[in-house]
Structure 1
Amino acid sequence: MLDGRTLYDPKWYQIMIDELREARRLAGWSQRTLADRLGVDAQAIKRLEKGIGSVSTLISAMTALDFQLTGLGSGRSLPQQLRARRQKRSMSLDTLARKTGLSRTTIASLEQGGGSVASLLRLLSVLAPRVRRRAPERAYWGQGDKEDRDSRFTPPEFMEGIYAAFGPIDLDPCANTLSPVIARRRIILSEGGDGLTDDWSGRLAFVNPPFSALLVWLRRAHEQWRAGMVETVVCLVPVRTDSAWFHDTLSADAAIYLLKGRVRFLDTTGRAQATPFSLMLVTLGATAEQKERYAQLVQGFWLSRTAETQGEQDQPMPRLTY
């Protein structure tokens, strides 16, 4: 037994792997997307998320997802942290081998970045039983900008791709007097309007919502589109896909485009600053032609979709493939 857990408790072994899977989902990446970024087969990621595979693949995935561990020790890499942890606890390779049931050679290999994920998890259960994922730091736009982090405006050069692919914008429901977005109708809170309560209208609505109220605005956009108040909605939002509503409701109707690189938003002084997080377009009612034009103009890719039943391409309620 170890801290009330059996050494071979597969449930405990799976904790870190579950966290890694969740980090991938929060990034908005499918298993294939992560595999492509690592240059491995998608099957390797599928196996990794079952606790099977090589430590080298695990380390590459952790790097791509900015997945860091705490409770190990100093070191720039996982192998360095393992070695530092063992030395801090004054444990020789032979001693650790006896405690883990692993061979001395296997432990030495793990400290060089080799070995299997199963061996690594067994080693961690003895060497660092309280190891866990380090909580990602909350990203703000810049030092001292926490209070006005919602006061950021979509740059004109980014909007050119929106106009060219989707056409003129009829409605900006969360507009600002300083925003360069061109729309026939703008709902501005400081002028008495409220896009969360006022009815939407028109063929195309573009929504760059306050990111602190992201889910509220996405729900409103989906509600107004479902009610037929607006034909097409294009939302520019951070890649945050962890809510149950996103998975259970929005993903059934939305087409999502993952943007490559970072968008340089404008602050209230007109200064441009890149977002400290990835962005995506969440579109409702976009046509195949509009999506194709946008992909030709802006770097990124549309998430693949698969219909729940066989039929025409416009079969209702398709779902995203993760």
Structure 2
Amino acid sequence: MRIHNDWKALPLDARGATVAMGNFDGVHLGHRSVIDAARAACDAPLGIITFEPHPREFFFPDAAPFRLMNAESRANRLARLGVEHLYQLPFDAVLAGLSPEAFAREVLVQGLGVRHVTVGEDFCFGRQRSGNAQTLTQLGQELGFGVTVAPLIGNGEVEYSSTEIRKALAAGRTRDAERMLGHWHRIDGEVLHGDKRGRDLGYPTANMAVDGLHLPALGIYAVLVDVLTGADRGSYKGVASLGVRPMFGQNRPNLEVHLFDFAADLYGQHLSVALVEYLRPEAKFDSLEALIAQMDRDSAQAREILATR
């Protein structure tokens, strides 16, 4: 998959796609239906138009983190779906200030040369969200590109949405989130240097930042891990701690991942960590010996859960 971080001066072979357009936070089953409709709309390369930063981050920079995915995680998921071009448009004052007509003309037609655009029926765009799916359809007729409006989908009880997925993850209901996502919720990123306490405890961990993300329930998880870069690329099983490490004072939240039966150095490599099962909340123990005993139990439970995966 090729990633384009602007709509200007694109090479000829990056133009003329059939695109799905939206924020695609989580790339859940509702988003999948929009992407599948774009794929079926016409015989052209499949593209995604999305925005970075998320428009809500641009307009409300001091709001609490809400994203299910960072840009890297979203790109990894879209690549798995066979997307050929990811148009990750810089959402800034210029883009935010474009009217719906100017966005369609300057970005979609002159910039990207789209053949067809697919959006969800709740899609809004343009200055002050003044354009909607009907507006886009009219502009497509005027400017020469096709438009498909995909209906919202759900399971009969709840609509598949990033909001509902956040609720499930905040409650530790990873399997409910998976049913709406169509895949395990993942945290992707680079392995950073940490305090290296895990190594001293017999549980070396790969440490990853979770800044800017909506945090699932803090605690211990059984995880599936894809090492995406480096000599040890591959899929592994493990156990992870998501939280502030209460045994060791007040700390910034992060993700610490222990891969079973793995001893290599992963610093600087990129991981994709799937949260499969919530095991327990974080806790502060009376001693390091009590902590290690609990880690042994967590690992045994995680191995059992992941045995058939």
Common fold: TM-score over 0.5: no
Name the TM-score, length of structure 1 as normaliser.
0.25
Name whichever structure is richer in strand by fraction: 2
- Say which structure, 1 or 2, has more relative contact order (CA 8 Å, 6+ apart): 2
Identify, as 1 or 2, the structure richer in helix: 1
TM-score under structure 2 normalisation?
A: 0.26
